[in-house]
Structures are given as structure tokens and as C-alpha cells.
Amino acid sequence: MISVRGLRKHYKVHKRPPGLKAAFRSLFHRDYTAVKAVDGISFEIRPGERVGFLGPNGAGKTTTLKVLSGLLHPSEGEVTVDGHVPRHREDAYLKKIMLVMGQKQQLLWDLPPAETFELNRAIYDVPREQFKQTLDELVALLELGDLIQTPSRQLSLGERMKCELAAALIHRPKVLFLDEPTIGLDVSMQVTMRSFIKAYTERYGATLILTSHYMDDVAALCPRIIVIDKGLLTYDGGLDALVQRVRPEKRVVFRLEKPVEAASLASLGRVVSHEPGSVVLQVPPEAVSATISRALSSLPVTDLTVENAPLEEVMSELFAENKARRAVASGEASP
Ligand SMILES: Nc1ncnc2c1ncn2[C@@H]1O[C@H](COP(=O)(O)OP(=O)(O)OP(=O)(O)O)[C@@H](O)[C@H]1O
């Protein structure tokens, strides 16, 4: 469905030193440097897959999504989506995809979302009957109700994001590019958006590429993740496999009937947190059952759960690993 081979996107950026003299000189002679936003990445995505596209700030995620949706031309490499070359921006292609960027809006500011929906219906040439059916579904699934008749400028951020998503789905795209769709939303709105996106992709067999700095979005939606860092692909595989590779240790969470002394925990494992009513230990996977049986005989345990490390920690550890590897590589490269 999506094929990316050797994609590079380098931006040419004008650089000049500060000061009036430099400003004057730059009128006649401009110096440029290349920003390697994406520097040779390849991946394939099958129809109906949901993939998290992750990386630290400035990694090249948005740039890649813009290339995939045809807004930017690649500097090098081959990209196809469902047999189309995105940069040709054929009508047939634009009818199959959608791009929603959490920080950009397409809703008409002074008019109700219903007007944007109608405009998109006309742009995408959606038959009236299908439009009505899709809109009814979207209104029900996203609980939009009367919001679609309220001027967009009067909507809260979360209400607006729900309407943004609905506007982008009016033509029932098969491929969704979602760039930070839950940014700035409160926790319950994030949950609503996630379950809606999942329901939509399952219902229509749609393919999803999602970027998000909220790991709960990724955990809820994406069995597979692709990580890029400084324009290079550093991981492509299962989310679970990444957790096992980066942070194989397990967290055992014990709920306690009464507080315990810190000294009684030291021999059980690494203490991640210690509260009056609970304690969290980090232990290697092979030591989980032994730790549990020792804890049950020495602590007033009322309940316990075994968990993986939080995804945020796994990702920040991976980014730190990548940074350290780059530092070593550049150290080795320098004389
Ligand atoms: N139009 C542009 N001109 C020059 N450089 C750009 C342009 N757009 C992006 N960049 C640079 O390209 C790099 C990748 O940017 P991009 O927006 O793709 O990153 P990102 O992974 O989406 O980051 P974030 O998580 O912060 O949104 C950054 O160094 C950014 O400064």
C-alpha cells in the first residue's frame, strides 16, 4: 500500500551571520546550507496497517508525512501510495488520502463546521447519499450533535479537533496521515479521539500513519512502530518487541495493606517508587516469580500487577541510545 525507498528530503536554508553589514552583504551574496530533514529512509506498509511514526523533535516525521501526502517533493528516492506517486497530486489520489495536522486547521473560522463539510463534499465530489450517511456516522461516533452548527471560532480546542477529523473523513479516505491529532486535548478527549480513529480504520480497512508525542495514542492504536531520528530510520517493528529490546525489565506493582520500611524492600529489587499504600519494583523478567513469592511472604500485599516499563521511558531511552551512538560515530570520524 505504502512504499518508501531511499527517501531524502533536504531543505536549502539561507544562513547569514547577525548584523547590518552581513544583512547588506546577503543582498548580493547568499550562503546556503542543507538541512537533512529526511536522509534516506525506506519502509513498506501493508493495507489496513496502523503504524506509529515516532521520533524526537525535529526527527523528520512531519516532513515525511508531507512527502507522502504530496505537499513536498522528495529530494531523492521513490514513494508510492496505493499505486500513486504522491507528488503528482492526482485527483484520484487526493480522494484516497487525508492529512490532519494537530496544529493546523481547515475549518472555516467564522462558519459552522457543517459548512466546511459541505465544501469538502463538493471538492471531493462525494455523492449526496453517501455524504449524508458518512456525516450521520461521524456525528454519532464523535458525538458532535449541535456542534456542527456552531461557528468554529466558538468551539473549544477538543470540539474543534473532533470536527477537523470529521471534515477530513467526509470523503472516506483509505489512507490516514495523522500528525499529532490529540495535541493539547484533555485526557478524556484523547481517549474519544483514539477510539474513534481505531473504529474508523477497522470499519473501512483504512491504513494509518500516526505521529504523536503521547505514547498512550501509540499504545492504543499502533501494533507496529517506525522510529526516525535525525532523518534516519532507527527502528521498524513491533511495539512489544521494541519494549523487550530496550527495557526488558518488568515492573511489579504491589498494593500494601499498611506502610512498610524502605529497608525491607532493598533485597527484593530496584525500588522505582515507594508510597505508604504501594511499592513498585523493577526486576529482570526471569526474577519476577521469585520476587513475587519473596514479597508475598515478607510484605502486607493486598494486590499486585506485573507491567512493562512506561512507553515514554522506553522511547526516551531509545532516543538517548541513538544520541550516544551518534556522538561515538562523530568522535570516531573526527581526527
Ligand atoms: N521548511 C523548512 N525549511 C527548512 N528546514 C525545515 C523546514 N521544515 C522543517 N525543517 C527542518 O527539518 C527538520 C525536520 O523537521 P520536521 O518538522 O519534519 O520534524 P518532526 O519530526 O516533525 O518534529 P516535531 O516532533 O518537532 O514536530 C528539522 O530540523 C526542521 O528544523
User: What are the boundaries of each domain within the chain?
Assistant: 2-10+39-243, 248-308
User: CA neighbours within 13 Å on the CB side: how many for 33?
Assistant: 6
Is the predicted ipTM greater than 0.90, yes or no? yes
Residue 84 gets which letter from DSSP? B
Return the residue whose CA atom lies nearest to atom 30 of ligand 1: 58
For 248-308, CATH gives 3.30.70.980
What is the Cα Rg of the chain in Å?
25
* 41 Cβ contact partners less than 8 Å away, ≥ 6 residues apart: 4, 6, 7, 60, 64, 228, 231, 232, 233
Return the residue whose CA atom lies nearest to atom 1 of ligand 1: 11
Distance 63 CA to ligand 1 centre (A): 6
Q: Which residues are 256's β-sheet partners?
A: 301
pTM score of the predicted model: 0.87
Grid coordinates given for 114:
457543517
Q: Determine the number of helices (DSSP H) and then strands (DSSP E) in the chain.
A: 11, 13
* 260 Cβ contact partners less than 8 Å away, ≥ 6 residues apart: 279, 299, 300
Grid coordinates given for 122:
463538493
Structure confidence at residue 239 as a pLDDT band (50, 70, 90): very high
Structure confidence at residue 333 as a pLDDT band (50, 70, 90): low
Place of cell 508510597: 275
What tens digit of pLDDT does each residue of 73-111 get?
999 999 999 999 999 999 999 999 999 988 888 888 899
Determine the Cα–Cα distance for residues 216 and 238; give it in Å rounded to an integer: 16
Domain 2-10+39-243 class in CATH:
alpha beta
Return the residue whose CA atom lies nearest to atom 23 of ligand 1: 58
What tens digit of pLDDT does each residue of 265-285 get?
888 889 999 999 999 999 999
Mean pLDDT of 20-35: 79
Distance 143 CA to ligand 1 centre (A): 34
Grid coordinates given for 264:
525491607
Lowest mean pLDDT among 18-27, 40-49, 110-119, 120-129: 18-27
Q: Do domains 2-10+39-243 and 248-308 have the same CATH topology?
A: no
Q: Are 40 and 6 a contacting pair, CB within 8 Å? A: yes
Grid coordinates given for 179:
500528525
Strands 50-54 and 224-229, sheet pairing: parallel
What tens digit of pLDDT does each residue of 153-184 get?
999 988 898 899 999 999 999 999 999 988 88
